[in-house]
Structure 1
């Protein structure tokens, strides 16, 4: 028999997953009503758990940072530098790590978020450095390249569209196609015959979206 605590935890998990899904579809304009409806709970239940939409998104951000850091630690624990890096990238993409991009600059970055983000940067740098030193990662790929790759592949437009259409019959095929694309992208990280085009991306491209504009 479910206790009140069990029900509350189940509702919270449903709310967080619904928020992630609605964010992927509607971006920063995702409404509280849409999130509650997707989770199958009333708006009152949502506001009893999270006083504001910003608080909900901050919680979602912390969970995402936790997953990133745990995946990176698991990658570093793998004795194979390539397997560790590839497992990290694959795990973050499949988790949907990039789905929080739309809320960059729309919520306050808490100190806890900043601390976990800095830890994540350190872990990814270690993964990339180890892969470079062992020669399994092309020399011109940076940690920021990896971060942007994860964000770009962290959501699948095809899967999102099929879900909106209610085409559950096509979702397995779409998931399979997505796994192939992830494998293709990972293969592109290995040392290749020619250099990557242009200069490596600047850190401001990834982090600047979460802070106020200089002229704001």
Structure 2
């Protein structure tokens, strides 16, 4: 929604309010997920809830804007990883970054796990771009003989979520970097040559009816 205040000071205030709302929303969904109220976001941003609605129209539009920003960051990471000289390094780096992004933001993890599909056309485009990037990273690693042949790009995406619930088990605490160890162990498991053939048809892309 455009800012309507024609005065220079008004425009500066509107830009500042927008930045504060986006920053507050990122922090809120990181710790609490998408089930956060407009009032809580506005309070954290130091503005009135009316300002939130004037700037974004709805809370959902604000959430969508923030999630798109997180997806754009992942798309940038994927592009950097595809330019790595070693295809395995590129794949491993992206898998670690995706896992970390999901752990850092509960809201992002909720969106990436939603099987009902993206909530907007823009998010659908980013989702497709990230799927394509992972498929290409997987193809490059296969071509280099670094990734076991029976591992698909869909496997890569599913494996990246493994650390989301990897903090405690039977009295064992993983520690602050335990999730990284999980990804490193999994990376060794998918690296060529594989020892135990994978069973089942493997994960598939969900197509809502």
* TM-score interval, smaller chain: 0.7 to 0.9
Structure 2 gap ranges (5+): 1-11, 103-107
Q: Report 1 or 2 for greater relative contact order, CA contacts < 8 Å, sequence distance ≥ 6.
A: 1
User: Measured at CA, do residues 40 and 85 of structure 1 come closer, stay the same or move farther in structure 2, by a change above 3 Å?
Assistant: farther
- 1:14 deviates by 2.2
- What CA RMSD, in Å, does the superposition of the two structures yield over aligned residues? 3.0
More helix by share: 1
Verify the 8 A CA contact 1:20 1:100 in the aligned structure 2: no
Across the two proteins, how many residue pairs are aligned to each other? Answer: 187
Verify the 8 A CA contact 2:98 2:160 in the aligned structure 1: yes
Report the TM-score, using the length of structure 1 for normalisation. Answer: 0.71
Q: Match for 2:92 among 78, 81, 86?
A: 86
Verify the 8 A CA contact 2:87 2:144 in the aligned structure 1: yes
Q: Match for 2:78 among 72, 79, 96?
A: 72
- What corresponds to 1:133 in structure 2? 143
- What corresponds to 1:201 in structure 2? 203
Q: In 2, distance between residues paired with 1:12 and 1:29?
A: 16
Q: In 1, distance between residues paired with 2:113 and 2:152?
A: 23
Q: Is 1:108 equivalent to 2:110 in the alignment?
A: no
Structure 1 gap ranges (5+): 160-170
1:142-181 to 2 correspondences below 5 Å: 142-153=152-163, 155-156=164-165, 158=167, 174-181=175-182
- What corresponds to 1:162 in structure 2? none
Report the TM-score, using the length of structure 2 for normalisation. Answer: 0.73
